[in-house]
Amino acid sequence: MNKAVHPTFQPLLLSANDAAPGLRMFRFASSNGFKFMPGQFMMFHFADDPKTRRAYSICSSPKAMSEYFEVTVGMVGAFSERLGSLQSGKESHLIVRGPFGKWTWNGDGHAVLVSGGTGITPFRSMALLGKGKVTICCAAKTPEGLLYKTEYDGWRKNGVNVNGRVTQPGANSNWSGEKGRWTAADVFAAANDAAAVYYLCGPKQMVEELRDGLERLGVRAENIRTEKWGDYTDLF
């Protein structure tokens, strides 16, 4: 069996903008023939520090992949600080390789995308695919922490069912939407489809609780796809 080819190239930074407090979205020019599937990620490193690598989910529209790809990065630590110092249109020592990952969606059927905190990052690419049926159930600690919230109305106009929640809005917040964490019952009600494919992305505890709860509600285990990280329960 032939191994998948993962191109390596030096991308040109096209733009960088704040996506939420402490988070920045970077747009890089694609290499010739660059392609990806929604849900995949890229590996980043600098030429003079090849051992320090970071994986970032692609969050841009697949429709634009021949021109550019985007990633959203938490601006914490030396690597992200160096990334943030790059100047648009100028050469850098940044190297990327990819895309990687099989946690993807091609637009077939109904995808229910459930995220906590920055877990929504790969889901933006799925929402922008423009095909299939998409239900998004996302949560953040504060209203300001809801990634891409200025885009939700646009997604809805394109048929995406977007449901945002805030877990700790604060006493002085003007948040009028749903509050509290997503439960399996809440997600199942929002999707209204036991045959959908459920993508769960976020802190380990959240992902495991939702997975178990959805199975109890009748969702088949093979229809639940998970992506989780450490138990960072204070993030959302």
Per-domain residue ranges of the chain: 8-100, 110-229
DSSP code, position 65: T
Tens digit of pLDDT for each residue in 73-84? 999 999 999 999
Q: How far apart are CA 159 and CA 135, in angstroms?
A: 9
Q: What pLDDT, on a 0 to 100 scale, did the predictor assign at position 192? A: 94
Q: How far apart are CA 32 and CA 22, in angstroms?
A: 32
CATH 2.40.30.10 fits 8-100, yes or no: yes
Terminal Cα distance for the chain, rounded: 42
In what helix (H) or strand (E) does residue 216 lie, and over which residues does it extend?
helix 204-216
Tens digit of pLDDT for each residue in 98-118? 999 999 999 999 999 999 988
Whole-model pTM? Answer: 0.91
SS3 176: coil
Determine the topology of domain 110-229 in CATH.
Rossmann fold (3.40.50)
Q: What pLDDT, on a 0 to 100 scale, did the predictor assign at position 1? A: 44
Q: How far apart are CA 83 and CA 76, in angstroms?
A: 11
